[in-house]
Structure 1
Amino acid sequence: MQAAAARRAFSSLASKIHPQLPLTPRESQQLLTLLTTSFRSHLDREYPTGPSEAPPPSTTTQIVKVEQRRRVPSSYDSASEHIDSILSNPLFARRPHRRGSDSAAADALKDPLAWFLDQAAIGTADISKAILCLDVLQRSQNKSNGRRSSLSNNDTRPASMIAEWLRTSGEETSKDFLVSSPTMNGAPRRSLVNRLVPLLLAEGNHAPLWRWYTYEPEEGGVPNKAQITPFKGQLLKEMINAARTRDEAFTIFLQAYRMTKTDERNADVKSLQVAGARLVNMVVASSQVPCTPELYEQFALSTHGWLFTWKPVVQAMLCLCHPTQADPEPGLKLIKNPDSIIGPTLLKQSRQKFLVRMCLGVAQQLIKAERFADAQIAMQFTKEHFADLVMVKYHSSSHHAINQKVSDQKRIREEKRNIALLERLVVT
């Protein structure tokens, strides 16, 4: 009899604590408060904070003790952070709207971010849907503003929301996110990270980017380290491309350099080489862009850790493009000792063009300094070893002029100036 009464009492108590769903908002809040209080009480029992001690007479010791007590982790704070992180997840923060496929497609076009968060709430979000969300947002933004800009609107930060979904869902360590599959023509597909990088930088949220860059897969896991090396290189390159100023680009690269173990056998050095090459090309293409000389010099010094056989030529070019103190001497020294650079140069045509540009830049700087003999040495070296790159036949037919691309026109003008400079030196 007493057992039956106990069961009835327990059943009544259980029905009050956890009634059948759906709950009313007030009941849901009561249940959440009960679970939260219970969870915090359990943490307080398992990980109690030490009892406060009376401060000793010494003022210095007192300050030390106070600082030590401040650093003791609070179970209450830990529980609050844990619960907040759970409740902020789209799975709990949103009530999904289940609709037909036609309505879902209309929602994706009308409000792509809300549509994606609904997909996350019902557990059907994936990488392809995140890409679709950002693409629709970008197209609508470009259409309304007529230019490419941040998608952020007041407190709405779509890139940060998608990055948080990647973290909480575990997708940021998946093969779909880290390994980009090629397109039909073999070119790398524009992945989700390419879309997220400029938006996250515009939103001021760098934490996900560095978390992805420093991710190390488990031994024997999928994807493996070799598979995510291209991802890291592309990630850092996109961060350099999306930097709003030259100083920001230098700062991003130098932070990645400090995070990477600079060893020629380390696969992560390849990511520095990809991004570093991009940054060097940006400097060479527009050396007049303002930047802080100290940051520029730190970047130039960093080449010791991620460049190897090609390092002397790149360093000479960076000395030539210094924002305040352009110096042709390192380049002239290489030109006078060609054996150290001709071998590596002959491997790739891109390196040949880079070296020719460095030699022409050295010659121009020497002419400005009225060092005509040294300038003629630089031009003679260029003509002797790379005549096919500087001696170009020009066609004046109107058909050729109409169909010539803008980039080709710029290259032709530059080569004409090079030939004129060469003829001037010959006369001198």
Structure 2
Amino acid sequence: MQAAAARRTLSSLASKIHPQLPLTPRESQQLLNLLTTSFRSHLDREYPSGPSEAPPASTSTQLVKVEKSRRLPSSYDSASEHIDSILSNPLFARKPSRRVSDLAAASALNDPFAWFLDQAAIGTADIPKAALCLDLLPRSQNTTKGRRGSLSNSDRRPASMIAEWLRTSGRETSKEFLISQLSTKGAPRRNLVNRLVPLLLFEGNHAPLWRWYAYEPEEGDMLNQAQLSPFKCQLLKEMINAARTRDEAFAIFQHAFQLAEAGKRNAYVKSLQVAGARLVDMIVSDPQVPCTPEFYEQFALSTRGWLFAWKPVVQAMLCLCNPTEPDPQPALKIIKNADSFLASTHSKPSRQRFLVRMCLGAAQQLIKEEKLADAQIAMQFTKEHFEDLVLIKYHSSVPHQMNRGVPEKKKIQEEQRNIALLDGFLAT
């Protein structure tokens, strides 16, 4: 009896020293309010806000703005923002399902976004699961109304939520996220950033993309600039590919170019070359896509900072594709002095095709301007140096049975006929 009484006494004393955590929602809310009030009071004591005296009535509007800018921020607002950022984290913003499991395939298929939030809430989310969520998301149906933890269509921003999870969990600076893994065939796998870029642009959330692009490893980090270069190249190129308009693509590239000019040029020049080449290809393949002339001019001027030996050819092509005033003269100048450019195209078929396209585009524009002599120079240059690209050829890879009925004399006649048609076009 004495032992039982002693245990009850100790239990009562322990409950007073270490009371149980509140179990009801009302008690939980009271505890949260108490912690919030205590935290704000501590901030008010440590960082008191400055006086905010109202300016006299005679003060001008400009002085009012200056006075407001000098006031210290309220500790109440700082505390509120800090607490909101904590509570909006997936670890706290969502109550996980008690039956959540890695084997719950049905949950992932029915609502992959809710499944991933459950994984984040219990601390088992990782980068492969985030990639799986984004892969399954287009195939999944809308979240069932009334389901526990379901989100309305206006609140479902999966890419932004996953980007925030990457930030708060520290994984956005991890090797797993920044280094592209190779597949069994040796090609880079389509990693998480490829999936996130178009969705983040669609959601209008550019901040995570630029935070990743501007990330600089500190001394002692396991990663260096050389290892990060492929990630930045891939990220900026995907942003250009996912741009919804030509103007948006120009704006994205211009922002990256400004970052490079702000003292970090060497770290970003490779990514500018990759993304810039992609943007040039888009312009050349479809120059009729509408865009703002000022944005186009800014991009054309930026080539001075990220192109080197091939810069004059690209600039001449951009002059040809100008949306308001196509100019063939830079291309014609290159054609008349093309020895240095021809040497750099022998081992690069892509450059050969680009140069041929520039020459044909210049000839076409010169004909529109009724400068037929200059157009003939451009066509003659193309025929002399890139005959295999502009004339029809019979290749030895064609089966012998298909070539049996085509005598050699007919092949020569066909080739001569093509050249005569080309010459006739020039004569007109």
TM-score range, shorter-chain basis? Answer: 0.7 to 0.9
User: Letter of the aligned partner of 1:270 in structure 2?
Assistant: K
Structure-2 change in CA distance of 1:232 and 1:294 (3 Å): same
> 1:159 Cα deviation (Å)?
0.8
Match of 1:381 in 2: 381
Distance (whole Å) between structure 1 residues aligned to residue 161 and residue 394 of structure 2: 54
Question: Structure 1 residues 337, 172: CA separation in 2 closer, same or farther (over 3 Å shift)?
Answer: same
Does 2:200 align with 1:200?
yes
Describe the shift of the 1:85–1:377 C-alpha distance in structure 2 as closer, same or farther (beyond 3 A): same
Return the alpha-carbon distance in structure 1 between the equivalents of residues 327 and 35 of structure 2.
Answer: 69
Quick one: which amino acid aligns to residue 327 of structure 1?
A: D
Cα distance, 1:423 vs structure 2 = 3.1
Question: CA-to-partner distance for each residue in 1:236-291, whole Å, 9 max, x for gaps?
Answer: 11111111111111111111111113889713111111111111000000011111
Deviation, structure 1 residue 382 = 1.5
Partner of 1:295: 295
Aligned pairs, number: 392
Moved more, 274-283 or 336-345: 336-345
**d(CA) in 1 for partners of 2:343, 2:111:** 57
1:282 aligns to what? 282
Match of 2:261, SS state, is coil
Aligned mates of 2:40, 2:87 — CA distance in 1: 16
The code of the aligned residue for 1:218 comes to E
Correspondence 1:329-344 to 2 at 5 A: 329-344=329-344
The equivalent of 1:235 in structure 2 is 235
Q: 3-state DSSP class of the match of 2:97?
A: coil
Shift of 1:388: 2.1
**Amino-acid identity (%):** 74
Q: Is the 8 A contact 1:179 1:231 kept in 2?
A: yes
Residue type of the partner of 1:92? F
Report the Cα offset of residue 11 of structure 1.
6.6
Kindly indicate whether the alpha-carbon contact (under 8 Å) linking 1:263 and 1:305 is maintained by their aligned counterparts in 2.
no
Indicate yes or no: 2:59 matched with 1:63: no
Which protein shows a greater Rg?
2
Match of 2:27 in 1: 27
Equivalence map 1:11-160=2 (5 Å) = 15=18, 19-21=19-21, 23-53=23-53, 55=55, 59-60=59-60, 63=64, 66-69=67-70, 71-99=71-99, 101=101, 104-140=104-140, 153-160=153-160
Q: Give the Cα–Cα distance (whole angstroms) in 1 for the partners of residues 295 and 316 of structure 2.
A: 17
1:100, distance to aligned residue in structure 2 (A): 6.4
Q: CA deviation at 1:394?
A: 5.8
Shift of 1:22: 5.8
Change in 2 beyond 3 A, CA 1:264/1:312: farther
Cα deviation per residue 1:290-347 (whole Å; 9 max; x = unaligned)? 1111111111111111111111000000000111211100000011111232233234
User: How far, CA to CA, are the matches of 2:376 and 2:272 in structure 1?
Assistant: 36
CA contact (8 A) 1:264 1:306 kept: no
- Provide closer, same or farther for how the CA distance between residues 252 and 374 of structure 1 changes in structure 2, counting only shifts above 3 A: same
- Structure 1 residues 33 and 426: alpha-carbon distance in aligned structure 2, compared to 1, 3 A threshold: closer
Contact 2:112 2:140 survives alignment (8 Å): no
Question: What are the ranges of 5 or more consecutive residues in structure 1 without an aligned counterpart?
Answer: 1-6, 143-150, 400-417
TM-score normalised over the length of structure 1:
0.84
Moved more, 373-382 or 161-170: 373-382
**Contact preservation (8 Å) 1:262, 1:269:** no
Q: Distance in 2 between matches of 1:102 and 1:295?
A: 48
What aligned pairs does 1:409-424 form with structure 2 within 5 A after superposition?
422-424=422-424
3-state SS of the aligned residue for 2:104? helix
In structure 2, do the counterparts of structure 1 residues 133 and 102 end up closer, same or farther at CA, with 3 Å as the change threshold?
Answer: closer
CA distance in 1, matches of 2:97, 2:344: 61
Secondary structure of the residue that 2:67 maps to in structure 1? helix
Quickly say closer, same or farther: Cα 1:139–1:8, change in 2 above 3 A: closer
Instruction: Answer whether contact 1:262 1:305 (CA < 8 A) is retained.
Output: no
User: What TM-score, normalized to structure 2?
Assistant: 0.84
Shift in Å at residue 51 of structure 1? 2.9
Letter aligned with residue 234 of structure 2? Q
Secondary structure of the residue aligned to 2:201 is helix
1:1-48: CA deviation from partner (whole Å, max 9, x where unpaired): xxxxxx999977655xxx324621111111111111111111111111
* C-alpha RMSD of matched pairs (Å): 3.0
Question: Unmatched 5+ residue regions in structure 2?
Answer: 1-9, 143-150, 400-417
Q: Residues 157 and 203 of structure 1 are in contact (CA less than 8 Å); yes or no, is this contact kept in structure 2?
A: yes
